[in-house]
């Protein structure tokens, strides 16, 4: 039912500016009653339950950060078949992000390029929404994580204080936290993947949220030699998992648009970087694989390589709301569809 509705709506949505279409869909999702979402939602297979860093996931298919930036539709995602959800990126203070247009579709490549720059209504706004869900007992059974980022105007040597504030704000609300130092759209952010900065930031978050799993999201544009160093740095301060990868500034397909590329063309690069992270981690903590996952074989391959779970975003935009359930059923029955 949902896929049919999406196929009917997609031509109209794809004629809109990508960001306008995104907000339109999220506003609709935000007001969708839980009972209707349950009715429209798919049936999921049994036997895919897994545990990642102490989190109980009904399926290993997660929603990556960026789709629900402001935590507007948190209860809906579980009804669509996601086994866990990541909202954000959220920054301490509200900020508008980069000038529009800042999201571009490459439909012939099933890709997106975004230069959003962490638009956010700030920690207070998101925390209030999450608190209302908890107070109303609408918090989903599937884990909900919050992706954390620094404000654009925060100097690099003070970045850890932004992450400290965010960890304090969300440690009583989120089920897990993700340190994002890998987006290409905030000037200087990726420089925080250097060992000293990374240790200071991640150590601060772990210290401030000792009861929550803390993950770090790495860039696909890190050289393989730097990946091992980054992994050892974050494991040394107690991080409980890695997410690989974020968007890329490389251009595996022709485009002059600036920003981070996601979707199918990212997959080959992401696969190599995910494998490098898996090799560096060597089973010590779970790794969540991300990057161009839009079919069962791609998801199954990452899980077979040793990923504890996977996340999707751009594939969801192109393939529709039935994708998480299709992936789950394909994994359950061994399908290569």
Q: Among all residues, which ones are annotated catalytic?
A: 183
- Quickly count: other Cβ atoms within 10 Å of residue 322's Cβ: 20
Check: CB of residue 218 under 8 Å from CB of residue 246. Answer: yes
DSSP helix/strand/coil, 158: helix
C-alpha span between 162 and 185 (Å, rounded): 17
How far is the C-alpha of 207 from the C-alpha of 229, rounded, in Å? 21
Q: How far apart are CA 132 and CA 126, in angstroms?
A: 10
**How many other β-carbons are positioned within 10 Å of the β-carbon of residue 304?**
9
Distance, CA of 119 to CA of 128 (rounded, Å): 17
Task: Look up residue 98 and give its two tokens.
Answer: 């980069």
Is the C-alpha dihedral spanning 69, 75, 78, 83 positive or negative?
A: positive
The whole-angstrom separation of Cα 6 and Cα 13 is: 9
């Amino acid at each position: 039912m949902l896929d049919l509705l999406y196929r009917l709506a997609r031509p109209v949505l794809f004629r809109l500016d990508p960001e306008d279409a995104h907000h339109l869909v999220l506003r609709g999702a935000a007001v969708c009653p839980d009972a209707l979402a349950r009715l429209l939602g798919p049936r999921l297979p049994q036997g895919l339950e897994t545990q990642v860093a102490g989190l109980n996931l009904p399926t290993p298919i997660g929603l990556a950060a960026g789709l629900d930036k402001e935590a507007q539709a948190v209860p809906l995602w579980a009804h669509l078949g996601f086994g866990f959800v990541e909202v954000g990126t959220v920054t301490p203070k509200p900020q508008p992000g980069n000038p529009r247009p800042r999201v571009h579709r490459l439909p012939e490549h099933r890709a997106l390029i975004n230069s959003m720059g962490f638009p956010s209504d700030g920690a207070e706004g998101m925390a209030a929404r999450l608190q209302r869900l908890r107070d109303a007992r609408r918090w989903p059974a599937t884990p909900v994580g919050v992706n954390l980022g620094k404000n654009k105007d925060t100097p690099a040597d003070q970045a850890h204080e932004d992450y400290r504030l965010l960890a304090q704000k969300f440690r009583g609300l989120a089920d897990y936290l993700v340190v994002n130092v890998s987006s290409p759209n905030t000037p200087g952010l990726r420089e925080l993947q250097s060992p000293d900065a990374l240790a200071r930031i991640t150590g601060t978050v772990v210290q401030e949220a000792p009861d929550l799993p803390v993950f770090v999201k790495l860039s696909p544009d890190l050289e393989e030699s730097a990946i091992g160093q980054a992994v050892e740095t974050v494991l040394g301060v107690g991080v409980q998992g890695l997410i690989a990868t974020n968007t890329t500034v490389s251009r595996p397909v022709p485009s002059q648009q600036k920003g981070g590329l996601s979707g199918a063309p990212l997959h080959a690069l992401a696969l190599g970087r995910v494998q490098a992270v898996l090799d560096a981690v060597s089973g010590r903590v779970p790794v969540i694989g991300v990057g161009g996952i839009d079919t069962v074989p791609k998801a199954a391959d990452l899980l077979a390589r040793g990923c504890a779970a996977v996340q999707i975003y751009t594939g969801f935009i192109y393939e529709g709301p039935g994708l998480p359930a299709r992936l789950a059923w394909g994994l359950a029955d061994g399908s290569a569809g």
